[in-house]
Structure 1
Amino acid sequence: MIRVPDHTVTAHLCTITGPLAITSANPSGESDSTHHDMVVNRLGSKLQGVLCDGESNEVVASTVVNCLKIDEGTISIVREGCVPAAKIWQIFEMVKNSML
């Protein structure tokens, strides 16, 4: 999974480290963590720390897009979250058309 953060501190961290390949912040099969307190409560004993960039307006989890076949000109929405599927398709089509 590659995360594209919309948070100042996380985005800055990515400029230092490069892309971060990380997992979701919830145990497999459990509901999504949408607040850092949820992450700490569920996984705190397994973590060295939690990066928090203040309160989030998001109450919906991340949108997950499968890009494994992007070289073949296709993607799929695995989970629709805070970024609507229509927006993902719009961006994908715009990028795909600019490559032609």
Structure 2
Amino acid sequence: MSSIFDCHDEAQLLAGMRHARQAIGRGELIVMPTDTVYGVAADAFSPTAVQRLLDAKGRGRNQPPPVLIGSVDTLAALAESVPEPVQRLVDAFWPGGLTIVLPAQPSLVWDLGETLGTVAVRMPQGRVALELLAETGPLAVSSANLTGHDAAISALDAEKMLGDSVAVYLADGLSKDGIASTIVDATSLVRRGADDGDALVRILRDGAVSREQLHEVLGDLLEPEQQEEQPVDAAQEEHQDGDS
């Protein structure tokens, strides 16, 4: 039986955070509020828990979940390297609604699915999310919905779709605007080098951070907007659908 805790009530918040930490430690799933939409979360370093997350959503291993972190410093531990233009994005938009795809740190022992050596990372805003992440460490988090359905903007929405596949629901009212994060692919800045003229940051999904805002930070390093829809390769497609 799932438990739902109202985070507006301080007593329920404390109890909910404790139960959420315990559930994560057991390899179970929780639903948590973020600054974009509600997310369903699992221990990023537990392959069993990550697979449980994918199964709950009806999602394949070719769509690995992003990872939410509670501190900017954690990015360096998860990514192979953090190029200077990526650091500018972090300084401008974290915590906030920008997910950044980078080559993953090769030494990491985890299994998020078929990532092709990449990881999508975001630091969210919000007291509940950041306090939880500070205690659990990085969490694999995808939008709290069944694949193909609208992202949940309340814990009740999430509970209707995910039911008892989730152990703990942390309810914190309605999402502020229900807009998912913008996802950008910055892998070429690492694999080619930021000084390579073909190394550009590509927008994989429009969301909370606009193209105009990204261009203000990146300038010509932001790939020009395509006039016609272009094919998306597997390394990019995996990070587009259904993430918070």
TM-score by length of 2: 0.33
Match of 1:32 among 151, 161, 175: 151
Q: Which residue of 2 aligns with 1:15?
A: 134
Distance 2:172 2:152 in 1: 15
Letter matched to residue 168 of structure 2? G
Distance 1:12 1:70 in 2: 31
SS in 2 for 1:57: coil
Query: Structure 1 residues 75, 34: CA separation in 2 closer, same or farther (over 3 Å shift)?
Result: farther
Gaps of at least 5 residues in structure 2 are 1-65, 67-120, 195-199, 222-244
**Partner deviation per Cα, 1:10-66 (whole Å, 9 max, x = no partner):** 111222233323222222222222332221111122111123334432232222233
Listed as ranges, the matches of 1:45-84 within 5 Å are 45-71=164-190, 72=192, 73=194, 74-84=200-210
Residue identity (%) = 29
Residues 154 and 172 in structure 2, CA contact (< 8 A), matched pair in contact too? no
Q: Which has the higher strand share?
A: 2
Deviates more, 1:57-66 or 1:4-13: 57-66
Q: How many residues align?
A: 94
- Between 1 and 2, higher relative CO (CA 8 Å, sep ≥ 6) is seen in 2
Gaps of at least 5 residues in structure 1 are none
Letter matched to residue 214 of structure 2? I
Instruction: Give the root-mean-square deviation of aligned CA atoms.
Output: 2.6
Residues 10 and 53 in structure 1, CA contact (< 8 A), matched pair in contact too? no
Q: Which has the higher helix share?
A: 1
Mark the structure with the bigger radius of gyration.
2
Distance 2:189 2:143 in 1: 22
